[in-house]
Amino acid sequence: MSRSDVLVDADWVEAHGGDPGVVLVEVDEDTSAYDKGHIRNAVKIDWKADLQDPVRRDFVDRAGFEALLSERGISNDDTVILYGGNNNWFAAYAYWYFKLYGHRGVKLLDGGRKKWELESRELVTDVPQRPETSYHAQEQDPSLRAFRDEVVAAIGNRNLVDVRSPDEFAGRLLAPAHLPQEQAQRGGHIPTAKNVPWSKAAEEDGTFKSDDDLRTLYGDAGLDFSRDTIAYCRIGERSAHTWFVLHELLGQPNVKNYDGSWTEYGSLVGVPIEVGDAK
């Protein structure tokens, strides 16, 4: 797989964002940014309201995903270009989610909303009207998503990659430093996990580093490329960014995202936890 199969740049989006068969989608947790201005022709997906079940802690089910994409006017044959804020965390999460439900044509805008804004490219407030479709999703692909028992069983057997910041990994912070530190669960990390913060895979402008730099990054951190891998963070979107790097850019087979992540693991009774800096 080459980068052009999974990434587009801003020039491509400016030239092709309005082409038939191409749908731009801005994905964020806080969609007020979209409402103030977005890339021309982009529709929005709200990470929480659209992609999370409103009652249980889980995704919307297959029928819910079909209803969402149908309502947004996305067809099975469309190439979906995802972008968003937070260095594409939520866009990468949506990418993984689209793959989970079997969408074939999906790519990320490299650098996301940040690079677009820093380059002073056009943002508009017009909301495109797309006719409703009849989207058909697949059953969730179990090879992409890890659940808690599998994570516990992976200790010492598979690569576990904790992509949070070093202070979160060590247990000194319970959330990223742009958020209040008021979580109730225990701090620390899953034993044997390597700490490779998601941010080390990205340049300052939000684009992904080169394949060579990425291989060096994970290799130096002690990742065994011959083993299966599970990535996690706090709620699974930063680790979707790392899942994208390992699975889509570097072509590693058998990489799963553990979307339960630390908010689940750090609240489980009886599981092992390590604290302290990476060894």
Partner 1 sequence: MTGDGCGAPAGGAPVSAARDVGGQAVVQGRVTQNGSAVAVGYARLLDSGGDFVAEVPLGEDGGFRFFAAPGSWTLRVLAPGNVSAERVVSADTGKITELEVAV
Of 237, 254, 220, whose CA–CA distance to 96 is shortest? Answer: 237
Query: Does residue 28 bind partner 1 (CB under 8 A)?
Result: yes
- φ/ψ of residue 224, rounded to 5: -95, 105
CB atoms within 10 A of CB 37: 12
Distance CA 9, CA 262 (A): 32
* Site mask for partner 1 (CB under 8 A), range 121-150, x = bound: ------------------------------
Interacting residues with partner 1 between 179 and 238 (CB under 8 A): 179-182, 197, 199-200, 204-205, 233-235, 237-238
Distance CA 180, CA 208 (A): 28
**Residue 85 touching partner 1 (CB under 8 A):** yes
Exactly one of 91, 230, 233, 240 is catalytic; name it: 233
Stretch that binds partner 1, among 27-35, 100-108, 146-154, 211-219 (CB under 8 A): 27-35
- Least distance in Å: CB of 86 to partner 1? 5
Which tokens go with 93?
Answer: 């999460």
Is there a catalytic annotation at residue 233?
yes
Mark the segment that binds partner 1 (CB under 8 A) among 30-38, 73-81, 221-229, 249-257: 30-38
Q: Does 153 bind partner 1 (CB under 8 A)?
A: no
Residue with tokens 């599998």: 150
Residue 89 interacts with partner 1 (CB under 8 A)?
yes
DSSP string, 10-75: HHHHHHHTTSTTEEEEEEESSTHHHHH-B-TT-EEEETTTTTB-SSSSSB--HHHHHHHHHHTT--
Q: What is the number of other CB atoms lying within 10 angstroms of the CB of residue 182?
A: 7
Least distance (Å) from partner 1 to the CB of residue 207?
A: 13
Active-site residue numbers?
233
Footprint on this chain of partner 1 (rule: CB under 8 A): 28-30, 32-33, 47-48, 85-87, 89-90, 114, 117-120, 165-167, 172-173, 175-182, 197, 199-200, 204-205, 233-235, 237-238, 263
